[in-house]
Amino acid sequence: MKSSYLAHGKVILIGEHSVVYGYNALAMPIQALNIRTDVEDYDQLWMDTKLYQGPFYDAPSDYDGLKYVVKTMLEKANSDEKLKITYTGEIPMERGLGSSATVALGTTKALNDYFNLNLSEDEIMAITNHAEMINHGKASGLDAATVNSDYLVFFNKQDGPKMIKSKLGAYLLIMDTGELGNTREAVGLVRKQLDSSVDANKRIERLGQLADDTMSSWTKHDSQKVGQIFNEAQDILASFKLSTPKIDDLRKIALANDALGFKLSGGGLGGIVIAVCDSQQTAKKIAAKSKDLINESWIEEI
């Protein structure tokens, strides 16, 4: 017997970090980046990824979220079946592209099919979110919701995801700095500042407001305004020490070459950055000018 599930990555447009504290955020799926999870019977419980091939529970601690998913699903199926779980495709890890949520969701859904468990969407998301908690210490649920959506997601912890089908009428340039951004560390760094500074709390609140402002500008197709909001959000994220010298350099290049706005995306401390552009040509020009600083880039119509 065999089952498989293809899950895609995500990019946070605005609201990273503030979403952990209950504010709204906006994130979009990236269909071009995806990972397929295949489950089949085998002579032992086995993991097969590009970076690790071996007994599932002996995998490095980076995979602790997945170990939780497999253990939970085997318990729900009341099974001790030996399985080989193979992950194919690539989403660069620790970049804010949702790789951990993608494989957690893919594993939960593939095992749900394999064992015919018929779990509800809520049960599947609860397992995926718990894996994300294990991976990141504190997870808002935004990543899991977005890798499970084919549309833009407006999200807060209380109400969950709301699908947004309208387009802004612009292009999003996504650039991978190649620097590993550790989400657990980034979330902890913000937490520490919030615990000791009233001003830090005001800045997080403002970040939440900026997500609301983005949503209203989005429905008015006001890409200039969204660009301005991105720039302010980047200033706030940088004030929490989540930016890096490379991100700061990329910002200068993007803004000097007609980007409407620029910010980091995801946990920060490296990872990906995003720029809103009025045309595909502008996005391509910025990517070309940034080529010595980045690993890869993608352009999405938004």
Residues that bind ligand MEV (CB under 6 A): 12, 16-17, 19-20, 96, 136, 139-140, 142-143, 183, 186-187, 266-267
Pick the closer one to ligand MEV by CB: 16 or 179.
16
Residues in Cβ contact with 173 at an 8 Å cutoff, skipping those fewer than 6 apart: 254, 259, 274, 275, 277, 283, 286, 287, 297, 298, 299
Pick the closer one to ligand MEV by CB: 177 or 282.
177
CA-to-CA dists, residue 272 to 52, 198, 289, 293, angstroms: 24, 29, 16, 12
Pick the closer one to ligand MEV by CB: 227 or 266.
266
Which strand (E) or helix (H) includes residue 203? helix 198-219
The residue sitting closest to ligand MEV, measured at its beta carbon, is 140
Pick the closer one to ligand MEV by CB: 39 or 204.
204
User: Minimum distance between the CB of residue 11 and ligand MEV, rounded to whole angstroms?
Assistant: 9
User: Minimum distance between the CB of residue 83 and ligand MEV, rounded to whole angstroms?
Assistant: 29
Q: What are the phi and psi torsion angles at 274 (to 5°)? A: -130, 145
Pick the closer one to ligand MEV by CB: 16 or 176.
16
User: Minimum distance between the CB of residue 300 and ligand MEV, rounded to whole angstroms?
Assistant: 17
User: Minimum distance between the CB of residue 260 and ligand MEV, rounded to whole angstroms?
Assistant: 23
Pick the closer one to ligand MEV by CB: 40 or 212.
212
Taking Cα atoms as reference points, which of 18, 12, 17 lies closest to residue 209? Answer: 18
HSE-up (13 A, CA, CB side) for residue 80:
0
User: Minimum distance between the CB of residue 182 and ligand MEV, rounded to whole angstroms?
Assistant: 11
User: Minimum distance between the CB of residue 132 and ligand MEV, rounded to whole angstroms?
Assistant: 7
Taking Cα atoms as reference points, which of 136, 110, 135 lies closest to residue 124? Answer: 110
Strand duo 46-48 + 83-88: pairing: parallel
Pick the closer one to ligand MEV by CB: 49 or 102.
102
Q: Facing residues of 275 across strands?
A: 173, 262
Taking Cα atoms as reference points, which of 67, 52, 54, 57 lies closest to residue 107? Answer: 67
Residues in Cβ contact with 144 at an 8 Å cutoff, skipping those fewer than 6 apart: 101, 104, 105, 125, 128, 129, 132
Residue whose token pair is 């070459």: 257
User: Minimum distance between the CB of residue 147 and ligand MEV, rounded to whole angstroms?
Assistant: 11
